[in-house]
Structure 1
Amino acid sequence: MQALITIVPYRPEWPEEFRTIAQQLQTLLGPAALAIDHIGSTSVPGLAAKDVIDIQVTVASLEEPALAQLPQLGFERLWHITGDHRPPGRDDLPEADLKKQFYRKTERSVNLHIRVTGTFNQRYPLLCRDYLRSHPYAAKAYGEIKQQLARYFPDNADAYYDIKDPVFDIIMEGAYAWAVAENK
């Protein structure tokens, strides 16, 4: 039986795989896609990750009609996922800043996150990616955390994410300070 959580060493083909999928998405969605970004661990050179390409499509509204075309590219919407986790202590965030649509493609493992421009959850993964790209020691430490969690909880995704998400929220506090200092 295959483990639910498997972390692999960085694969140099991930950026090209993203570009191929992004091009397909841009052709399908046209101007409805305000931005298409490679996010998540596979977007950070050298970072160990699950072999899943995470992509964020930024839209003006989650009600964008063009999104109904995503099944043409093999994306299946997971209707039970309607938002992102709220970082501990962030009671100041409006619920709208955490909403999203989520799709999965299984022929090539892809997680597709549809988020609204200017919201907290739309900026968070971009800042995460850029911070880890600029801070290789933080990226290596984060990779080690993920590898150890996968080792201890290979068949328990809930335990893996219950620990990984708050750890990453700690990393993000440094990312916020970095973004302010760098005018990002």
Structure 2
Amino acid sequence: MSSKIEIEVYNPQWEMIFHKLKSVLCKEISELVIAIEHVGSTSVKGLGAKTILDIDIVIKDYSIFPRVIQGLEKLGYFHQGNLGIEEREAFGRKDNLVPWGEEKTNWMEHHLYVCPLNSKELFRHLAFRDYLRNYPKIAEEYEQLKRELAKTAKSRECYTFGKGEFVKKVLEKAIND
């Protein structure tokens, strides 16, 4: 059974929640990471999105990855592998209070990934995000596409597949600009 996909209007709280999540993550793993990036649609001001934050933790390389896993496990995350995408390690949450911190917070749903600095997937995430941030008209087109797909897609997989050609074209523009 497919769950309904809902695109909500942009909410400035998304950025604030990202910064709070980043703060909790940094308390545990800051010395191991180069950056913690807010990516995906919720990271683009004005862009409607599913209410799920996408977060990329950037590390120098895989030599420190076991220590990153340990740090994230202390916060309640668990390693899920790369889920079929090389150089992008996914992490699930044990419960809605993850990441566990000093305050018990029921966190917004989020996807957490760890990528080495030279990761192609990290490059794609940042290039797509930055292009949409710099070209609001393209972001509007993307939102219209997402809203249409949310109405017609039979599954999340179909929804994601339906965005593929648009994402590919934007990435080509981003690389060539």
TM value normalised by structure 1 = 0.81
Shift of 1:54: 0.6
Segment of structure 1 superposing worse, 169-178 or 102-111: 102-111
Residue in 2 that maps onto 1:93? none
**Equivalents in 2 of 1:163, 1:104: separation in Å?**
25
Contact 1:40 1:54 survives alignment (8 Å):
yes
State the number of aligned residues.
163
Residue in 1 that maps onto 2:91? 103
Paired AA for residue 92 in structure 2: R
Residue in 1 that maps onto 2:77? 75
Residue in 2 that maps onto 1:160? 159
Paired AA for residue 32 in structure 1: L
Contact 1:38 1:55 survives alignment (8 Å):
yes
CA distance 1:33–1:4, shift in 2 (3 Å):
farther
Runs of 4+ in 1 over 6 A off after TM superposition: none
Identity %: 26
Shift of 1:138: 0.1
Q: Secondary structure at the match of 2:127?
A: helix
CA distance 1:4–1:68, shift in 2 (3 Å):
farther
2:65 maps to 1:66 = no
Residue in 2 that maps onto 1:127? 127
Shift of 1:5: 2.1
Please show how residues 1-184 of structure 1 align to structure 2 within 5 Å: 3-63=3-63, 64=65, 65-79=67-81, 81-83=83-85, 98-105=86-93, 107=96, 108-153=108-153, 155-178=154-177
CA distance 1:118–1:10, shift in 2 (3 Å):
same
| Structure 1: runs of 5 or more not aligned | 84-97, 179-184
Contact 1:40 1:129 survives alignment (8 Å):
yes
**Equivalents in 2 of 1:49, 1:59: separation in Å?**
27
Shift of 1:7: 1.2
**Equivalents in 2 of 1:114, 1:4: separation in Å?**
28
